[in-house]
Amino acid sequence: MSRTEGADTSPFETVSDTDIETSRTTRYRKFLENHIVVPLKIFLGDWRGIVGTVIVSMYVFMGTIGVLIFERPSPNEGSPNSPPFETMALPLGTDALGQDIFRSLIFATPTMLLMILSGGVFAIFVASIVGISAGYKGGRMDSFLMGLSDMMIALPGLPLVMVITTIFAPRSAILVGILLAINQWAGLARTLRAQVLTLRDESFVEAARVMGIPTYRIIIDDIVPGLMPYILISFVNAARAVIFGSVALYFLGVLPFSNFNWGVMMNIANDQGNALVIPAYRHTILFPMLAIVGLSMGLVLIAQAADRLFNVRLRSRHDSDT
């Protein structure tokens, strides 16, 4: 038998390209099933997830597509403080400046979304780094980081933000969101530390450590998934704090009116239209308040439904069904 024939029948023959492609396809299919299909089934199986997603999507649509469809409101489009539902041209009436309230709500949304996103991401980012580092490393790092967290928790939130914003007078929506969430991370950091202290002694973490897996991979693959319910809930809490804080500071006139948002609308309604005094003008302050409540409710519903994604028993039930 020739050397060529022996090579063709060798038991150590290289796997064909077809087998490699099939293996890749299987891995991709499992990844999509575990990380997209199953989470979507769980999330959409809860009515809170569906309703919350619809509500938040409406606000995102208003802040992205809505500002492209409608014209920016301008003063004297109608008589000041005209009541709602009198004409389709001004469906929600006008404010004290004669601006269309409906279009004002739309053009105030992008600024609110920027503040919410920047403040929520900032709070979660800092809290995750501080809490996970303190819980996993322990020792002096734990003492220092938790002491810093306790100091931030002890500081009064809104008065601290009022002092900082008065001194710096931020005009960027992103910077305003970060300043409003400047001490929102401390409570979450303590919660994450407590959870990490429990998770780091689990058998699967110990096994990964014995196998020589790098620390960052252990944290990403084994620690962080167990912390996601707390992170999601805390993101919603930070986002709601940014919403309420920004509206309050703009309403009180503490922040400069460098961007248009729901707090500015409420300030105009109260200072120039006396909406809190004159019952006929209260719609000018009521509609921005309803917008605030609607967005807050949508975020809460999404967080409650997303908590089911990390329920181990529920995930196992879906995996067995599939």
Tens-digit pLDDT profile for residues 213-256? 887 788 877 788 777 777 887 888 888 888 888 888 888 888 88
Say how far apart CA 54 and CA 59 lie, in whole Å: 9
Which of 61, 92, 60, 94 shows the shortest CA–CA distance to 77? 94
Q: Is 274 left (phi over 0), alpha (psi -120 to 50) or beta?
A: left
Contact yes or no for 283/95 (Cβ under 8 A): no
> What is the pLDDT at residue 66?
92
DSSP 93-106: -B-TTS-BHHHHHH
Structure tokens at 222: 């084994």
Helix (H) or strand (E) holding 281: none
Say how far apart CA 72 and CA 7 lie, in whole Å: 75
Which residues touch 188 (CB under 8 Å, ≥6 apart)?
123, 124, 127, 131, 230, 231, 234, 238
Q: Name the stretches of the chain with pLDDT < 70.
A: 1-24, 27-28, 31-36, 308-322
Structure tokens at 310: 């990390």
Q: How many CB atoms lie within 10 A of CB 305?
A: 22
Helix (H) or strand (E) holding 170: none
> What is the pLDDT at residue 208?
76
Say how far apart CA 120 and CA 123 lie, in whole Å: 5
Structure tokens at 87: 């004409």
- The domains of the chain are located at 17-198+226-321
> What is the pLDDT at residue 6?
47
How many CA atoms does the CB half-sphere of 166 hold within 13 Å? 9
CA 99 distance to own-chain centroid: 31
> What is the pLDDT at residue 40?
74
Q: Would the CA dihedral through 72, 121, 172, 97 be positive or negative?
A: positive
Q: Would the CA dihedral through 231, 233, 235, 237 be positive or negative?
A: negative
Contact yes or no for 217/190 (Cβ under 8 A): no
Contact yes or no for 130/184 (Cβ under 8 A): no
> What is the pLDDT at residue 7?
47
How many CA atoms does the CB half-sphere of 244 hold within 13 Å? 11
Contact yes or no for 256/171 (Cβ under 8 A): yes
Q: 3-state SS string over 20-87?
A: HHHHHHHHHHHHHHHHHHHHHHHHHCCHHHHHHHHHHHHHHHHHHHHHHHCCCCCCCCCCCCCCCCCE
Contact yes or no for 118/178 (Cβ under 8 A): yes
Tens-digit pLDDT profile for residues 45-74? 778 888 998 999 999 999 999 999 999 988
> What is the pLDDT at residue 12?
47
